[in-house]
Amino acid sequence: MLKAGDKAPLFTLNDKDGKAVSLSDFKGKKVVLYFYPKDNTSGCTKQACAFGASYGRFKKLGVEVIGVSRDSEKSHVGFAEKYSLPFILLSDPERKVTKAYGVWQEKKLYGKTSFGVVRTTFIIDEDGVIEKIMPKVKPDTNAQEILDYLASKGE
């Protein structure tokens, strides 16, 4: 299980436009990497729209926002267009990155057990080290919680 202070697992995934994006592309920048279950679902839409609405504030702080789900690039295109999402969405259909970050976990819903993405956000510092892990975040408050955290650190 990853913890704050660990080196963030490196990865390369395609964005919605089929362009390869690597975590190493952001060396020297702080990254908010958030994992979510599925495009166009209620909670995921709330979370993405909250990040979209706050994106200007993240950019002013020099922070890049990246969302990751198992959805296809095509699904990400529609999701980003429908909600005018200005940040990077990455496609992880084989769950390699999702598993590397430990967010593919057993979940229980209505007494049924299954595996899925546990909504989790990682703040990765300029050197590629995990600064903070926010597990089981609330979709509508996650972006503001991160901004509050960054403000508390004087960023």
* Cα 25 to Cα 16: distance, rounded to the nearest angstrom: 17
- Write the single-letter amino acid at 83: Y
110, 119 contact by CB (below 8 A)? no
Annotated catalytic residue within 13, 44, 66, 68? 44
Residue 13 is inside which H or E element, if any?
strand 12-15
49: annotated active-site residue: no
**Beta carbons within 10 angstroms of residue 128's beta carbon:** 16
Q: Active-site residue numbers?
A: 44
